[in-house]
Amino acid sequence: MDFLDFSKITSSDTFKTPEENETIEYKESSWKLPKSFWETVSSFANTAGGIIVLGISENKQLHEYHIIGVDNPEDIITQIFNDNNNPSCLNRPIIQNKDITISKFKNLSLVQIIIHPEQFNSRPVTAFGKAYIRTGDGDRLATTDQLKYFTVESQNEIDTHLLPSTYTIDDLDPKSIHEYRALLNEKGIITVSDDINDKEFLYSIGVFRKDRLSNSNEYRLTDGGLLFFGKYISITDRFPRFQLDYQKYNSDSAVNWIDRVSAGDMNFPTLNIFSFYNIVSSKLENSVADPFIQDQHLSRTSYHADLVSAAKEALVNSLMHAYYDGTVGIKIVDRPSYFEFTNPGTMRVSKESFLRGQYSSIRNTEIAGLFRRIGISETAASGGPRILNAALKNKLNDPEINIDYGMNTTKIRTWKSFNTNSNSELSDLEQFIIAMAKQYNNLSISQIVKSPKNNYGKETAVRNAINSLLDKKILNKRKDGRRFTYSLSSTNDYLSQVKHLKHLEDNILK
């Protein structure tokens, strides 16, 4: 995050953009620091971070901002650091010298302060004893559920807790256990002897763990083991809002689903994490078309395998990183153009770190370990790069990551196809050209005209359609010798940069 340059934003004293939002706040502060400043510091620190600019007023009726300046910026900064180190104001100091600057606009002074997001296990940051979160363009008091979430998140691992001794192997689904054992044997990862009963087997893989805080030497079921293998009723005794939901739609705008897998429904009365993954992963795979697409070398592309791999990574990522004590459940939406994976719990690493695979902070290590034993999500922090590579390699829209700090949810959308966002406004010839551009990195007009599948127009019509797509910024144009070639405009510039950085980390900066 960078400081704002108001000389590039406006030439007058007023402006309309950038507006206040999840990461920008403007405040008046001519001679005194407003008390609401620390509420915003708390809300930014507890969510995605942000920048506070002092010396700007807002005209709510005209929806515009007015630069009025700060009279004594040095005094304001002194007050900020005094309060920053005052435990009765802020529960711990989080603002450093490098986070503050005095900027000039004409003859006026502005004070800008960058607030970095706190680590998941260091939240909440409180102002005057209260925790705030940022939603939209405002600061809101954290609810009881959000305060509980902060408390739980302060622990690195949350699914290894031992349940009361009243939870027994009878609370687990025998079919799930037997299928898991069979998978271990089938993949040759671990050979499970038929002489070992289910209880001994579950002891050996950590689903039951010894209670080392008592003298009983009793083995007790873990939270993660219950979630992974449990019967639905038993799971909801511990996690009352536990819900796993997959919904398939036959169009991107459809309201009614055509297929559904939902925990607790009559068709899935004993659904747990393991059985949900098995059912839904095959549905995701079947939902990805397997078109015969050739690259410029006439070799078949890996479109189907790439998208299936990305979808399964996103699915297991949702299951491993979910906050199961949350107020919402896991929801997987399957539409013709995209998959959408929503799980309770905000992402513990930044979006950039997730996509680059820099490091992983798994919320549910027990669940992750059980998946990895059967070869699912074998490498930590591999999910983001696979999702990213599938988009870049197949010229798809950017994967979208949205974090809702009000509901404490993470939503990841992965695309199945190149989406122009204006398909209905494109002619048949324009859509045909886009389809060809997906197959060839550098497409010429003669290739389009001579294509045996071109039933839409001759050279003049093709040129007009090309120009239309250039105007809509759907295609790029470049000189290639004596001719021009065309390729799809990349919406992945930012992701390409992330991928480039990852390549440097993996191959040069070791």
| Choice between 492 and 200, residue whose per-residue pLDDT is larger | 200
Is the model's pLDDT at 55 over the cut of 90? yes
Residue 160 C-beta-side C-alpha neighbours within 13 Å: 15
Dump pLDDT digits (tens) for 237-284: 999 999 999 999 999 889 999 999 999 899 998 899 999 999 999 999
Is the model's pLDDT at 501 over the cut of 70? no
- DSSP class per residue in 449-490: HH-TT--S--HHHHHHHHHHHHHTTSEEEEEETTEEEEEEPP
Are the beta carbons of 37 and 15 closer than 8 angstroms? Answer: no
Q: Does domain 6-141 have CATH number 3.40.190.10?
A: no
The predicted pLDDT at position 30 comes to 84
Instruction: Taking residues 445-472, report their average pLDDT.
Output: 87
Q: How far is CA 125 from CA 130, 151, 299, 360, 419, in A?
A: 8, 12, 55, 23, 40
Dump pLDDT digits (tens) for 80-137: 999 999 999 999 999 999 999 999 999 999 999 999 999 988 999 999 999 999 998 8
Handedness of CA 199, 205, 209, 212 (dihedral sign): positive
Is the model's pLDDT at 363 over the cut of 60? yes
Q: In angstroms, rounded to a whole number, what is the distance separating the alpha carbons of residues 484 and 470?
A: 13
The predicted pLDDT at position 223 comes to 95
Is the model's pLDDT at 22 over the cut of 70? yes
Is the model's pLDDT at 413 over the cut of 50? yes
Q: Specify the residue for token string 């398939």.
A: 248
Is the model's pLDDT at 495 over the cut of 60? no
CATH number of 244-415: 3.30.565.60
Domain ranges in the chain are 6-141, 169-238, 244-415, 423-488
Q: In angstroms, rounded to a whole number, what is the distance separating the alpha carbons of residues 94 and 40?
A: 13
**For a pLDDT cut of 70, what percent of the chain falls above it?**
90
| Choice between 187 and 497, residue whose per-residue pLDDT is larger | 187
Q: In angstroms, rounded to a whole number, what is the distance separating the alpha carbons of residues 179 and 173?
A: 10
The predicted pLDDT at position 160 comes to 78
Q: Does domain 423-488 have CATH number 1.10.10.10?
A: yes
Phi, psi (deg, nearest 5) at residue 125 = -90, 125
Dump pLDDT digits (tens) for 219-228: 999 999 999 9
Cβ count near 308 (within 10 Å): 19
Is the model's pLDDT at 293 over the cut of 70? no
Angle at 207 between CA 310 and CA 347, to 5 degrees: 40
